[in-house]
Amino acid sequence: MKAITLGIYVLALLALVSCNPKANKDVEKQTTPNQSEAFFPEWSDDAVIYEVNVRQYTPQGTFKAFQQHLPRLKELGVEILWFMPIHPISEKNRKGTLGSYYAVQDYKKVNPEFGTLDDFKHLVEACHQLGFKVLLDWVANHTGWDNVWIEEHPEWYTTDSTGTIVSPVADWSDVAGLNYENSEMRAAMIDALEYWVEEANIDGYRCDVAGMVPVDFWEDARAALDSIKPVFMLAEDEAVKDLLNNAFNMNYGWHFHHIINQIAKGEAGVAEVKDYFAVVDSTYPLGSYPMQFTSNHDENSWNGTVYDRLGNAAKTMAALTFTVAGMPLIYTGQETGNTKSLEFFEKDEVEWGDSEMHEFYATLIDLKQENTALWNGEAGAPIRFLKTTGESSLLAFTREKDENNVVALFNLSANPVQDTIVCETLTGTYTDAFNGKEWTFEESSPVSLKGWEYRILAE
């Protein structure tokens, strides 16, 4: 994804960011005139999202085998389960032995490797009984080359000057691009989206490369789905903000993810974090927000695990994604310290077992859910960056909602940092979420942190 260009307007916004309690609240937000309260279901207010890679989750790689993990995930505290595509995978032009989940053969069937439709419906029911919400990964931009549509409706696909059906991107040789100028194809796609809400009672979608599909299609699809039941929609996109007006609740925080990686390599720091959230404050439609993450299926498979990319900063950056604005994501295996970069087109089971990481993520989830200031979108509070006396690697901010106040301190470097926070509105005693120790802030408070050390304090 392309980095966001900042420019003079953003620099002006940064002047607002100080110890003034009204700082971020004064930034003019984009409006979303057609949204109703149902557009943002209450169950998403404090939710943490968890991405499920069914193929790699268990030796069996099935719905039934994954279902045995639901009690563990319930104990962890995640609330939304996002399942990577569950549809049959095309065999024509397949990459690798098993192919890509994103080369869909039939939008209304289930990959037989995972089980049956009844198995999936039973899994969704079990998820609902435990209080989870279920999002299904959806690939609307393209299909596999032996999708049921391609023989019956070749006019539904994009073609070159010779009339030959083509891939949307040259490297995506295992898929064929769909033509959104064709109204019949649009209707069929919406029908397929409706099918899973009606038939399996899922609660929404994560939509692959959503920005490559026209905004008006997604808005039509969202209206059709909401007429069945209120849904939650996640766009794999960051560039097309109009997707958030009337179609999607949340998009990808790709730019912040790249900043995190750069910080771990010593190539970015406090200034880049502040710049990013100034842009979020000024460009995201009211109520919408980014998904923040240190890993996902693409990052893990193609760019390495969090330990490969972040090293000793892995926990620090995970904690950061739970305290900044946006909904945090946990990818399959992160909660137990998976150190394997999983094969994308082959069977390659997750390495499970680190209970320390389970406790770490459980603490972060409890912190988020128990402090309304950290909730998502308008349910939570904006970030207010705190003034420090030095030009250091100390990132200090607070989020305050009604009587709830959370202060976060992060050393964004491998070297020790000593600095002083100046803020008269911060005075009081706070409790560290991880060790229970009390911290007292005065109008001017010295802070000393080891390399990559962080403190998350709740009043």
pLDDT digits (tens, 9 = 90+) for 206-254: 999 999 999 999 999 999 999 999 999 999 999 999 999 999 999 999 9
Q: Which residues contact 403 (CB under 8 A, 6 or more apart)?
A: none
Cα–Cα distance measured from residue 233 to residue 325, given in angstroms and rounded to the nearest whole number:
18
In CATH, 29-379 is 1.20.140.10: no
Query: What is the chain's mean pLDDT, rounded?
Result: 92
Render pLDDT for 119-149 as a digit per residue (tens, 0 to 9). Answer: 999 999 999 999 999 999 999 999 999 999 9
- Angle subtended at Cα 127 by Cα 220 and Cα 226, rounded to the nearest 5 degrees: 15
Residue 27 has pLDDT above 50, yes or no: no
Over residues 27-31, mean pLDDT: 45
What's the Cα-to-Cα distance from 350 to each of 52, 67, 300, 337, 339, rounded to whole Å? 11, 16, 11, 10, 8
Does the global pTM surpass 0.85?
yes
Are the C-beta atoms of 182 and 142 separated by less than 8 Å? no
Q: For CATH 3.20.20.80, list the domain ranges present in the chain.
A: 29-379
Instruction: Say which amino acid occupies 180.
Output: Y
DSSP 3-state helix, strand, coil percentages of the chain (rounded to 5)? Answer: 35, 20, 45
Cα–Cα distance measured from residue 145 to residue 147, given in angstroms and rounded to the nearest whole number:
6
Render pLDDT for 279-293 as a digit per residue (tens, 0 to 9). Answer: 999 999 999 999 999
- pLDDT for res 32: 52
The pLDDT-based confidence of 25 (bands split at 50, 70, 90) is: very low
DSSP category for residue 201:
-
Cα–Cα distance measured from residue 124 to residue 64, given in angstroms and rounded to the nearest whole number:
11
The CATH fold assigned to 384-458 is Immunoglobulin-like (2.60.40)
Q: Where are the beta strands (DSSP E) in 97-255?
A: 133-138, 142-144, 175-177, 204-207, 232-235, 250-252
Give the phi and the psi of residue 123 in degrees, each rounded to 5: -65, -45
- pLDDT for res 459: 85
Q: For CATH 2.60.40.1180, list the domain ranges present in the chain.
A: 384-458
> What six digits make up the tokens of 379?
């349910």
Could you tell me which of 256, 348, 254 has the C-alpha nearest to residue 301?
Answer: 348
Cα–Cα distance measured from residue 55 to residue 97, given in angstroms and rounded to the nearest whole number:
13
Are the C-beta atoms of 248 and 210 separated by less than 8 Å? yes
Beta strand pairing call for 232-235 and 204-207: parallel
